[in-house]
Structure 1
Amino acid sequence: IDVRVIPIKELGRPRVDVVIQTSGQLRDIAASRLFLLQKAMDLVAETKDGNTPNQIALGRVEAERVLLEHGVPPEQARKLSGKRIFGGLNGAYGTGIQEMVESGDRWEKESEIAEVYMNNMGAIYGDEDLWGETAKGIFEAALQNTDAVVQPRQSNTWGALSLDHVYEFMGGLTLSVRHVTGKDPEGYFTDLRNRRRVKTQEIKQAIGIEARTTILNPTYVREQLKEGAGAADAIDETIRNTYAWNVMKPSAIDKELWDALYDMYVVDKHQLGTVDFFEQNNPAALQDLTASMMETIRKGYWQATPEQKQTIAQLHAESLAKAGAGCSGMVCDNAKLRKMIQEQLTPEQQREYTATLDKALKVTSQSDQKQQVLSKDSDKAQGRKQSSSSTSAEDQDSLSTSEVVVIGGVVLVFILVLSILYSRRKKRTK
């Protein structure tokens, strides 16, 4: 309903200045909670705690300085300096960095990713008057003194590696802080999966535990290999997310993890039949995960040996030769990576690799052109089809409304019946 300031003696610790990065879903359904969080920060910023420094108030002074440096007028800089809740621009839900990260030749410096993230996730929330507004330098100003990035975790169905949104949001924020402050912030999960045993877990530890208990665990992998193409996709996504985390927070992923993934999925150290599994069930996933490994090497995050590099490249090229190219962003949409892979192949393999990719890219290009032509034809025919009997969006909306009315009527009837029964029962009781 409301918030109050806890006296510093009762709190028993220094106050902490925070920045909240809200998800689109929370923003949409819980605006009232965001208003209370911002109100709490405003109240604490004005609180006098005796000789104890007020970090929230000091943070506002620093943010105001940064805003003034960006040319924001003094009165507006003072007003904006306390805003600490940010989310997607124009009501969006994504950060815009996923495709950029996963097609590695779209960026050369990590700062390019950070700038996209900050631009797309720097809208103000938590203030009713400024809801969804942006201002030059405001997100940067709020992040100035960030020492740690904390991600809540409530579910057993995802982990740091298995869900791409974790690197997208938590990782993107971490990279942005590094870009703004020049220092790598600590990363933590607030583990809320067991409400009676809440704990905090450091990001590298969380990644290590997840990797060792799942994709590097022979027992787990053996069972996964029984599940077909879907399991191959899940393994591929986890390895791609490992590469992405390497970009977001290089200190969280070490060489030993990549060496272990290489042993498990490229050379099949445990003789589980991993390569055969991918070739038979989902060669596109094999191509993507080997491309992710090669991109990690190309970007300099994994100092692989020459033998590892050549083995991965050849397995990648052999899969393309056998099954054709599964054109993910990594496989087909990264010219610099393709060149690096070619350099690891024999002349004959190079020719076959190039021919396979050229064929796949040609098909993709023709498909795009055909789609554009169909789109134009559709636009021309739109006027002729307005009287068509096909269900339009409006029809669907009307249908949905009708369904709601029917359901509402059923519920009202049900309530009426219950009321009559209750009334009769009450009379019989009397």
Structure 2
Amino acid sequence: PSKLAFTLWSVETMRHFGMLEAQVLAVMGFTPQWDAAGRVIGIEAIPVAELGRPRIDAVISATGLYRDQFPNVMHWLAQAADQASTLDEPDNIIAANSRRIEQALLQRGLPAAEASLAARTRIFSSESGAYSTGLEDATLASDSFGEAADGGQDRAAGEEKLAELYLDRMQFAYGPDSQRWGEKATVNLYAEQLRGVQGAVLSRSSNLYGMLTTDDPFQYLGGLGLAVRHLDGQSPELYISNLRDADNPRSETAAGFLARDLRARYFHPGWIKSIQAEGYSGALEVLGTANNLWGWQVTAPETVRSDQWDEFKAVYVDDKLDLDINQWFEQHHPQAQAQLIERLLEAARKEYWDTDAQTLQQLAQRWQDLAERHDVVSDNVKFSEYVEQAASGFGLAAPASDAAEAQSEASDAPMQQVQGQKLEKQQAQP
């Protein structure tokens, strides 16, 4: 690639001791310098001949906690981008991007000194004192984006609204001049730097935390992919730097990593039984998983498959694993199952989940039953209307005239004896 983005988290860095930061320096073609005590005291550009490839541009998204806890590391990463922007080398894409952005900013009226500093800036975070992208709440308010005037779905308009929220929240710059850290330019510099990003990377260094344990992964990695898709018209590849096994570090696609998380944890009877033992808090954990899967669906649709929503319903509504799941929800937190079903129905209403009218009717009737018996209320008016339609079997029955015509044609057609194999339903093997 010629341009990558990395999202840096403080807790991850505490676990992996700077592995992802080392990857950032490596792609830009720099190596750290240490003192006798093992502290980083500088960086050094690797000569192109030794590097054996062109330098790769790197844009860095830092969480609020990372910004607060690792300013010393951010300093050296900012210096690497600054120095690479001034190296006179053939095929130096970092310098070429800095020159291009500087010219674009000059044309938009920025003073020369401001444009030069901004063009050499590659690190961005939220405003000082802020600790989220805003996507954790915005994605759950699914009636507030992507709604077309005719009652259908306008996916592009919905993504544009969420992408602009992310870019607005994460545009505070941390460049070569630390005295200017946390400033916001008159133009969205983060958006300018994200243009052309081909891949984005997040690390996972613990089996305790996966892609769905909190809303942060989809906020930061998913949000980054959403922003690039909004700016360039296509999604970057999303990668997980999998550092869970220190002896076998590897890079994986986010979609593959998420699929394994679902199979190995959230659809696994062992995990579900353990979470059931937690009662009320366990039900909240399951609901949070559904909400976070929805967050990935909205920000990075390519990471979530329709059959994964099928399986979510099969496990947590149909009780596919024979774990008395509905009774457990009813005993400990029926509202959590109702909200989980609301998320499933919203996935269908927003045209992310491709399922049939019978499935929707079953879910809608279960939601209505829980709502009536446990005082469940949704403030999503569009969802409420959708539930009424789905529960009544909208889309199940053929129009009366069509049904009568089909029945008439069937009665007139001559009967024909056929022979062949007969399919019989078999009990699925565990």
Same fold (TM over 0.5): yes
Question: 1:41 pairs with 70, 81, 84, which one?
Answer: 81
Structure number with bigger Rg? 1
Question: 2:161 pairs with 93, 112, 115, which one?
Answer: 112
Superposed CA offset, 1:321-353 (max 9, x none):
11111x5xxxx2322111111212349xxxxxx
Conserved 8 A contact 1:66-1:137:
no
Match of 1:197 in 2: 248
Question: 2:380 pairs with 317, 334, 355, which one?
Answer: 334
Matched pairs, number = 340
1:137: how far off? 2.4
Match of 1:77 in 2: 115
Match of 1:256 in 2: 307
Distance 1:65 1:254 in 2: 41
1:161: how far off? 1.6
Distance 2:224 2:204 in 1: 16
Q: Which runs of 5+ in 2 are unaligned?
A: 1-40, 147-157, 394-430
Superposed CA offset, 1:6-26 (max 9, x none):
111222232110111111112
Match of 2:275 in 1: 224
Q: Which has the higher contact order (CA 8 A, sep 6+)?
A: 2
Question: 1:319 pairs with 356, 366, 370, which one?
Answer: 370
Superposed CA offset, 1:30-56 (max 9, x none):
21211111111111222233xx40010
Conserved 8 A contact 2:64-2:128:
no
Match of 2:172 in 1: 123
Distance 1:97 1:274 in 2: 30
SS in 2 for 1:302: coil
TM, length-normalised to structure 2: 0.76
1:75: how far off? 4.3
Q: Cα RMSD (Å) of the superposition?
A: 1.7
1:227: how far off? 2.5
Question: 1:281 pairs with 332, 339, 342, which one?
Answer: 332
Match of 1:168 in 2: 219
Match of 2:285 in 1: 234
SS in 2 for 1:236: helix
Residue 302 and residue 69 in structure 1: after superposition, are their counterparts in 2 closer, same or farther (change >3 A)?
A: farther
Superposed CA offset, 1:198-250 (max 9, x none):
21121001100000011112333233323311111111111111111010111
Question: 2:357 pairs with 289, 306, 309, which one?
Answer: 306
Distance 1:143 1:48 in 2: 23
Superposed CA offset, 1:386-415 (max 9, x none):
xxxxxxxxxxxxxxxxxxxxxxxxxxxxxx
Distance 2:321 2:63 in 1: 41
Match of 1:67 in 2: 105
Superposed CA offset, 1:152-210 (max 9, x none):
12222211122211111111111111111111110111122233322112100110000
Instruction: Supply the AA of the counterpart residue of 2:133.
Output: T
SS in 2 for 1:150: strand
Instruction: Supply the AA of the counterpart residue of 2:180.
Output: L
1:307: how far off? 1.1
Distance 2:245 2:314 in 1: 34
1:88 matched to 2:126: yes
Q: Larger % of strand: which?
A: 2
Instruction: Supply the AA of the counterpart residue of 2:169.
Output: N
SS in 2 for 1:86: strand
Conserved 8 A contact 1:171-1:248:
yes
1:343 matched to 2:389: yes
Conserved 8 A contact 1:67-1:141:
no
Distance 1:70 1:287 in 2: 50
Conserved 8 A contact 1:60-1:82:
yes
1:71: how far off? 4.1
Distance 1:54 1:91 in 2: 36
Distance 1:66 1:148 in 2: 23
Conserved 8 A contact 1:287-1:319:
yes
Conserved 8 A contact 2:167-2:188:
no
Question: 1:184 pairs with 223, 235, 238, which one?
Answer: 235
Residue 194 and residue 270 in structure 1: after superposition, are their counterparts in 2 closer, same or farther (change >3 A)?
A: closer
Residue 112 and residue 70 in structure 1: after superposition, are their counterparts in 2 closer, same or farther (change >3 A)?
A: farther
Superposed CA offset, 1:250-306 (max 9, x none):
111011111111111122223221111111111111011101111111111111111
SS in 1 for 2:57: coil
